[in-house]
């Protein structure tokens, strides 16, 4: 990295290049796979709405870019490759495995002591819904599934709508990388 930064590249160029390069590598594979999946939907069922399908593909690519950005941000916050790898996988595990389990455990505990009757209150759903995995699920369910489903569809709270989930989801694409860059910009190599 020291050699690369001795060339006429700034640290910002390095971060943006890393994010764009890795995102393009990921997105190319994903778009190709989703094109095949779309063809497999058209063949037996006869139709596919191209506008909605392209929106779904774009949302799914952004989902991958978010986790790529989180991994790059973790990499900028650590000094070793091992810590960066463990941190990136740890962040993914936190959002995919632990976050949903913690939500279910809280709901079970509150229901056991009689404070709730089935679903978490709307403010708790909002807090547990701030992770990118849940936001992606809310967006796919809200925009692409007729009638929606799940605990977020049952609530009438404005802050649980898919329209608020969209800017929160977009923030996940920017904030971790920006935070990592701010730390990386001032780090002495």
Least confident of 6-20, 53-67, 126-140, 170-184: 6-20
Count of domains in the chain? 1
Rounded to the nearest 5 percent, the helix, strand and coil shares of the chain are: 80, 0, 20
Report if residue 4 sits inside a domain: no
Kindly state whether residue 2 falls inside one of the protein's structural domains.
Answer: no
**14 within domain boundaries:** yes
Residue numbers of the domain that contains 61:
10-185
> Rounded distance, CA 141 to CA 133, Å?
12
Any domain includes 5: no
Instruction: Reply yes or no on whether the pLDDT at 17 is more than 70.
Output: yes
What is the predicted pLDDT for the residue at 11? 80
Whether 1 maps to a domain, the answer reads: no
For the cut 70, the answer to whether the pLDDT of residue 151 exceeds it is no
Of 16-20, 89-93, 158-162, the one with minimum mean pLDDT is: 158-162
Average pLDDT over residues 51-73: 94
Task: For residue 127, tell me if it sits in a domain.
Answer: yes
169 has a pLDDT exceeding 90? yes
């Amino acid at each position: 990295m020291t050699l690369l930064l001795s060339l006429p590249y700034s640290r910002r160029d390095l971060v943006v290049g890393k994010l764009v390069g890795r995102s393009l590598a990921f997105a190319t594979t994903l778009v190709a796979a989703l094109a095949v999946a779309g063809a497999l939907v058209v063949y037996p069922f006869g139709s596919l709405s191209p506008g909605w399908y392209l929106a779904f593909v774009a949302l799914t690519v952004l989902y991958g870019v978010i986790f790529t950005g989180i991994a790059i941000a973790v990499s900028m916050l650590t000094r070793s490759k091992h810590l960066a790898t463990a941190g990136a996988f740890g962040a993914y595990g936190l959002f995919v495995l632990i976050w949903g389990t913690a939500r279910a455990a809280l709901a079970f505990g509150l229901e056991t002591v009689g404070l709730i009757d089935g679903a978490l209150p709307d403010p708790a759903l909002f807090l547990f819904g701030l992770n990118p995995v849940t936001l992606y699920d809310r967006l796919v369910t809200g925009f692409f599934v007729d009638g929606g489903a799940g605990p977020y569809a049952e609530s009438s709270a404005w802050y649980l709508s898919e329209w608020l989930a969209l800017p929160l989801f977009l923030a996940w694409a920017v904030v971790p990388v920006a935070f990592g860059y701010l730390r990386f910009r001032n780090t002495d190599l």
